[in-house]
Amino acid sequence: GQQLNQSPQSMFIQEGEDVSMNCTSSSIFNTWLWYKQEPGEGPVLLIALYKAGELTSNGRLTAQFGITRKDSFLNISASIPSDVGIYFCAGQRGGADGLTFGKGTHLIIQP
Amino acid sequence: EAGVAQSPRYKIIEKRQSVAFWCNPISGHATLYWYQQILGQGPKLLIQFQNNGVVDDSQLPKDRFSAERLKGVDSTLKIQPAKLEDSAVYLCASSIRGVDGDTQYFGPGTRLTVL
């Protein structure tokens, strides 16, 4: 099955730095989502994007739905230690369809 | 509101043995999904139920995997017989129709190790 192309694979940053990650697909999705997963837990939804070109914020997180419907990016501003985890992008074709995930971006914050 | 419940949390079996996982979705959620997450990868959809009917099982290896949701609430996923490559975390998710779409809520997963 298809997986989305997510980059970077991992990021080592200092506390307080901004973070940017992106996701691309060879096919169109009608919804883009960003999830965070911590060890031993299931993914937790951070941001959902429903319209091409949409820019949505959730606290220090900002995500955009690409105009071509084939890409999305997530920015985290002023990172803090609790931001550590694996971030996944996911695409969805229909409202109740299963999700197609990227391979994840592992965020590590150095003290 | 209680989240998606899964059991067991961990399971270790030998290849060719059988194993079953259980999922209790969030109350009122009509749609239930099973995903397989291999180490270092994102989750991959195995099967989707709408109430007690299968909506999508195109990525389910049907020669060894089966799933059911008989009463439209709880669901079980079974592997028989297991192979080494089935070692993964099995995630259950449920969703309910919202204004913009269905938000999927994930359980903590069952980590399967096949020796």
pLDDT tens digits, A93-111: 987 889 999 999 999 998 7
Residue A11 near residue A85, CB atoms below 8 Å:
no
Q: What is the pLDDT at residue B1?
A: 65
Largest CA distance in chain A: 42
A52 reaches B (C-beta below 8 A):
no
The CA–CA distances, whole Å, from A4 to A38, A57, A88, A89, B62 equal 20, 22, 10, 8, 24
**Residue B17: its pLDDT value, please?**
98
* Cα separation values, A107 from A10, A89, B39, Å: 6, 14, 16
Is it the case that residue A1 has pLDDT exceeding 70? no
Which of the residue ranges A48-57, A102-111, B27-36, B95-104 would you say has the lowest mean pLDDT?
B95-104
Residue B18 pLDDT: 98
pLDDT in tens, A51-68: 999 999 999 999 999 999
Share of chain A above pLDDT 70, in %: 98
Interface probe with B: pick from A3, A24, A97, A100, most Cβ of B within 10 Å: A97
* Residue B101: closest CA among A26, A54, A41: A54
A27 and chain B in contact, CB less than 8 A? no
**Cis geometry, peptide bond prior to residue A43 (ω within 30 degrees of 0):** no
Amino acid B3 reads G
Q: Comparing A32-36, A38-42, B1-5, B90-94, which segment has the lowest mean pLDDT?
A: B1-5
CA distance A3 to chain B (A): 8
- Mean pLDDT for A12-36 is 96
Partner-chain contact B42 A31, CB within 8 Å: no
pLDDT of A73 strictly over 70: yes
Mean pLDDT of the B76-102 span: 91
A50 touching B, CB under 8 A? yes
The CA distance from B46 to B90, in Å, is: 9
pLDDT at A60: 97
Q: How much of chain B exceeds pLDDT 70, in percent? A: 97
pLDDT of residue B100: 66
Predicted confidence at residue B98, as pLDDT, reads 72
